[in-house]
């Protein structure tokens, strides 16, 4: 993911993302939580407090589910909403 795209996802400047990467600045708690969601890893992993990138819930998913989750997180928020709406439509119409 480019710094520009990540900065847009986080709502910060590209320079701020660069500073995170270079260790010049650290993300706020809010940005840290967003980074965790974006990359599908725990905050502890981002902070270097854990060598396990995923929390227990994520690590219990099978490979197909992890790919689905990862692909979903790579979508823009607008497209994530479209996917969720489509899934809800399938569930509502009985296509389970």
Parse the chain into domains and list their residue ranges: 3-57, 61-92
pLDDT at 55: 58
Domain 3-57 has CATH 1.10.3720.10: no
Q: How far is CA 88 from the centre of its chain?
A: 21
Per the listing, tokens 């967003």 go with 34
Over residues 23-64, the pLDDT tens digits come to 898 899 899 989 988 888 888 888 888 777 765 565 667 888
Over residues 68-93, the pLDDT tens digits come to 888 888 889 899 999 999 999 999 89
pLDDT at 56: 55
% of the chain at pLDDT higher than 70: 89
For the entire predicted model, the pTM comes to 0.53
Give the whole-angstrom CA distance, residue 4 versus residue 81. 22
CB-based contacts of 48, cutoff 8 Å, min separation 6:
none
pLDDT at 54: 63
The overall average pLDDT reported for the chain is 85
């Amino acid at each position: 993911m480019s710094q520009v795209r990540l900065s847009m996802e986080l709502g910060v400047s590209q320079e701020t993302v660069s500073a995170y990467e270079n260790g010049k600045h650290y993300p706020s708690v809010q940005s840290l939580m967003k980074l965790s969601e974006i990359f599908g890893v725990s905050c502890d992993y981002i902070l270097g407090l854990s060598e396990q990138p995923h929390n227990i819930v994520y690590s219990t998913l099978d490979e197909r589910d992890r790919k689905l989750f990862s692909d979903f997180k790579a979508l823009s928020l607008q497209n994530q909403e479209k996917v969720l709406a489509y899934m809800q439509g399938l569930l509502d119409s009985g296509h389970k």
